């Protein structure tokens, strides 16, 4: 699953989107990104690490509120520009899911 990578203050961060089937929601994950070690395929590229923030955006029931979960046993300081970037991705996903749900309701004849 591809990720968007952004650098801030010499550190790299990743945002990735995937569908979390058990939650019936899209997951938007924020993690630090690290280079693939030398000698491995894709060496030199950056890959997302374990997520420390995950937003779940329900896509089938717009009455369910999106939530943000904090993960991990380590403390993470998230720079404000990175948090805004992550939350912009979450807000965009919320808008897409609500538009799709509304369009689906209109097609089904539900107001």
Domain count, the chain: 1
Whether this prediction's pTM lies above 0.85 is answered by: no
Q: What is the mean pLDDT of residues 6-32?
A: 94
Q: What is the pLDDT of residues 80-96, one digit of tens each?
A: 999 999 999 999 999 99
Judge whether residue 105 has pLDDT over 90.
no
Neighbouring C-beta atoms of residue 53, cutoff 10 Å: 21
Domain residues for 45?
A: 3-108
Helix (H) or strand (E) holding 72: none
Residues 55-94: b if buried by 16+ CB within 10 A, e if exposed:
bbbbbeeeeeebeeeeeeeeeeebeeebeebbeebbeebb
Mean pLDDT value across the chain: 87
Quote the pLDDT of residue 22: 84
Which is nearest to 103 in space by CA: 67, 65, 59?
A: 59
Per-residue pLDDT of 44-71, as tens digits, reads 689 899 999 999 999 887 788 999 999 8
């Amino acid at each position: 699953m591809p990720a968007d990578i952004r650098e801030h203050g010499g550190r790299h961060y990743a945002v990735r989107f995937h569908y979390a089937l058990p939650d019936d929601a899209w997951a938007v994950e924020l993690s630090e990104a690290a280079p693939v070690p030398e000698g491995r395929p894709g060496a030199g590229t950056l890959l997302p690490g374990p997520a420390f923030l995950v937003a779940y955006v329900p896509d089938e029931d717009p009455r369910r509120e999106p939530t943000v979960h904090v993960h991990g046993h380590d403390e993470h300081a998230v720079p404000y520009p990175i948090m805004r970037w992550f939350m912009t991705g979450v807000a965009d996903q919320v808008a897409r899911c609500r538009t799709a749900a509304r369009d689906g309701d209109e097609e089904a004849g539900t107001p």
